[in-house]
Amino acid sequence: MPDFPAGPGPAVYNTAASPARHVRLSPGLYFVATPIGAARDITLRGLDILLSADVIAAEDTRTARKLMDLHGVPLGDRPLIAYHDHNGPAQRPRLLAALGDGKSVAYVSEAGTPLVADPGYQLGRAAIEDGVSVMAAPGPSAALAALTVSGLPSDRFLFAGFPPGPGAAQKRFLEGLKEIDATLVLYESPKRVHRLLDVLDHVLGADRQIALCRELTKRFEEVIRGTITSVQEAIADRVLKGEIVLVIGRGQPVQASAEEIETALRAALKTLRVRDAATEVAEALGLPRRVVYQAALKLGDDG
Ligand code: SAM
């Protein structure tokens, strides 16, 4: 849930001077990403689409109105239609009919990017099957924001959404992720995160590196990085509030041979300086940058 207008950005809005511009939208369905906290994370194009679409559909119409009000985007006499998981089958025909009539329909979920642990998939599919254009106005998503600040390798990641609640299904779900050679991104409620960490400790091992990212882009933004054990200790006596993304590092460091490092470095050094090449190769191979930097310097010396 976004906490408009809090967040690190200025909390003053001049709705008289909205940056939104009327644009001629081609017919189709527009998935518009909206802030996950700080209201000013909306994009200018997102605002243009919200101002110009014939129909607005929203997971939560009150949140959508609030966001539009904050940015001086009037709804006017355009329909604002609620579309969420529970009314999807009933509401889809109405939205598809508007799209079939050549209208532009903008869809916003409650926060972040529609379809990312949010409604929109069925609507998008149905629109594509009807031959309607489907477009994205990309922007915030908690998964990518968390990956960005996690300090964990970002070259390959798997977004796994919300795990099932505690129990056998959750354990199976986490065991299925254990061997995946990628950084994992999970959404979890603050009420369940302590228990989830206990299970992760058991399934993945206490030494896995993780980042618990809370309230991103909001006033009380916090990132706790470390092993599963150290994060468990850090939050043991705390009642966490707000919204949480858990980013989980890979199990085993990727074992790269000296030859693999050299080949990757030689390729990178064709276009990058030593420092940047070392950073790129270290990230790609999951190795400490220091080690790869030394190897790059040696390559330079050896020619
Ligand atoms: N569509 C959204 C997106 O693109 O991130 C996600 C919607 S999902 C229903 C809501 C979950 O996203 C929350 O339970 C939390 O795990 C995560 N989330 C959303 N906003 C967040 C924030 N500001 N900080 C941390 N996690 C957040």
The answer to the question of residue 62 being in a domain is: yes
Quote the distance between the C-alpha of residue 47 and its chain's center: 20
The answer to the question of residue 231 being in a domain is: yes
Looking at residue 20, what DSSP letter applies? Answer: -
CA of 116 to the centre of ligand 1 (A): 9
Q: What is the pLDDT of residue 288?
A: 82
CB 116 within 8 A of CB 159: yes
Is the CB of 113 inside a 6 Å radius of any atom of ligand 1?
Answer: yes
The residues, ordered by sequence, that sit 6+ positions from 173 with a Cβ below 8 Å of its Cβ are 160, 163, 164
- The residues of the chain scoring below 70 in pLDDT are 1-16, 252-254, 301-303
Kindly tell me the burial class for residue 41, based on how many C-beta atoms sit within 10 Å of its own C-beta (0-12, 13-18, 19 or more).
Answer: buried
Question: Where are any strands of DSSP class E within 83-220?
Answer: 104-108, 134-137, 157-161, 183-188, 209-214
The answer to the question of residue 16 being in a domain is: no
Alpha carbon distance 292, 296 (integer Å)? 6
CA of 114 to the centre of ligand 1 (A): 11
Is the CB of 211 inside a 6 Å radius of any atom of ligand 1?
Answer: no
CA of 142 to the centre of ligand 1 (A): 5
Q: What is the pLDDT of residue 9?
A: 47
The pLDDT tens digits of the residues spanning 222-250 come to 999 999 999 999 999 999 999 999 999 99
Alpha carbon distance 87, 83 (integer Å)? 6
Laid out side by side, the sheet with 244-248 consists of 157-161, 183-188, 244-248, 209-214, 222-227
Alpha carbon distance 41, 180 (integer Å)? 32
Sole residue written with tokens 């010396």: 301
The sign of the CA dihedral 138, 140, 141, 147 is positive
- Same domain for 175 and 114: no
Is the CB of 187 inside a 6 Å radius of any atom of ligand 1?
Answer: yes
The last residue of one of the domains, among 97, 112, 140, is 140
Alpha carbon distance 51, 202 (integer Å)? 50
Is the CB of 37 inside a 6 Å radius of any atom of ligand 1?
Answer: yes
CB 141 within 8 A of CB 112: yes
The reply to whether the predicted model has a pTM over 0.85 is no
Is the CB of 116 inside a 6 Å radius of any atom of ligand 1?
Answer: yes
Q: What is the pLDDT of residue 10?
A: 45
CB 259 within 8 A of CB 267: no
- Same domain for 125 and 190: no
Q: Which CATH number is 111's domain given?
A: 3.40.1010.10
- Same domain for 135 and 43: yes
Quote the domain boundaries for residue 293. Answer: 258-302
In degrees and rounded to multiples of 5, residue 222 shows phi and psi of -155, 140
CA of 36 to the centre of ligand 1 (A): 7
- Same domain for 151 and 206: yes
CA of 243 to the centre of ligand 1 (A): 6
Percent of the chain with pLDDT over 90: 85
Alpha carbon distance 74, 61 (integer Å)? 14
CA of 265 to the centre of ligand 1 (A): 37
- Same domain for 296 and 203: no
Q: Which of 220, 244, 247, 248 to mutate to test the pocket of ligand 1 (most atoms within 8 A of CB)?
A: 244
CB 81 within 8 A of CB 91: yes
Is the CB of 141 inside a 6 Å radius of any atom of ligand 1?
Answer: yes
The pLDDT tens digits of the residues spanning 45-60 come to 999 999 999 999 999 9
Atom of ligand 1 lying closest to residue 188 CA: 16
Pairing of strands 104-108, 222-227: unpaired
